[in-house]
Amino acid sequence: MQMLNHHCGVDRDSRGVVRVSICNAGALNILGSAVIEGVREGLEQLARDRTIRVLVLAGQSEKSMIGGADIKEMATLEQKSAEAFISRLRDLCEAVRAFPAPVIARIPGWCLGGGLEVAAACDFRVAAHDARFGMPEVRVGIPSVIHAALLPRLIGWGRARWLVMTAENIDAPTALAWGLVDVVAPQGRLDQSVEHVIGMLLECGPEALRSQKALLRQWEELPLTESVNLSVGVFGKSFLTDEPRRLMRKFVERKR
C-alpha cells in the first residue's frame, strides 16, 4: 500500500482500479479532523489522475468502513469550531461525490452518522451481510446535516425521516430493501461482490462513465427540461473521443 499521507493509503492495479483505505483512524475508522483532512487531500490528489477507472473507498479495519465522526472531538466544540468541523466533513463528502470516476463504498460492519453520509456520496454501496446502518446524531444532541441531505433522494422522505429522527439502526437486508445500498454480499464474499461491480464498470467506456457521472450530478440539481437539453451537448462531445466508434464496432461485430 502506498501512503499518500498518514490517513490515506492507496492500492492500484493494472486495470485502473484504485482502492483508497482510511488508515490510522482506530478500530472503527472514526472521522476526526486529521483523518477527514487526510482522506480529502488524498482524494483530491487522485481526482487529477485520468488513468483511474474505478475507485473503491474502504476502511483499514474490517469492523466498519467509517464508524462515524469523532464524538470525543465534537464534545469539545462550540458554535464556530462546530461549524468548522462540519465544514471539513462536508468537503470530504464533496470530494467523494465530485470524484470524476465511479466510486464504490465497501461497507463491512458499522456505517454510522458521518460514515453513512460519506457512503451516500459514493456512486455505489456494497455491504457485508452483517453490516449495520444508522444516523445516531440526535441521540448525542446534534442534528444530522450536510450530506444526510442525500438520504431522501436515495430512500425517500419517510425512510430518511425514520433514520435521522429515531436514530434507529437498520440491518443490511433492510438497507437493501430501502435502496440505501445496492448489493448485500453473501457471508465472506464482500470483496467478491465489490469485484463484480468493478467488472461491470470496466466493461463500460471510461470517458462515457465520467460523462454519465457528471450528468447525474447535474440532474440532481437542475429542472427536468434543463437536464434534457444539457445532455444533448454532452452526447455530442462523446464523439470527440474514439470510444463510441470503437465500442460500437465491437458491439456490432459481436452481434454478427
CA 150/CA 42 separation, integer angstroms: 23
* Residue range 10-65, pLDDT digits in tens: 999 999 999 999 999 999 999 999 999 999 999 999 999 999 999 999 999 899 99
Which residues, 6+ apart, have CB-to-CB distance to 55 below 8 Å? 17, 18, 19, 20, 46, 99, 101, 102, 103, 104
What are the cell numbers at 148? 444526510
Q: What is the pLDDT at residue 141? A: 96
- pLDDT above 90 for 254: no
- pLDDT above 80 for 109: yes
| Whole-Å CA distances, 2 to 63, 82, 175, 223 | 22, 32, 33, 42
State the pairing for strand pair 68-69/2-5: unpaired
Q: For 7, phi and psi rounded to 5 degrees? A: -115, 5
State the pairing for strand pair 124-127/183-184: parallel
- pLDDT above 90 for 251: no
**Percent of the chain, pLDDT > 90?**
96
Strand partners, 90: none
Calculate the average pLDDT of the chain. Answer: 96
* Residue range 138-150, pLDDT digits in tens: 999 999 999 999 9
Mean pLDDT of 217-239: 95
pTM of the model: 0.96
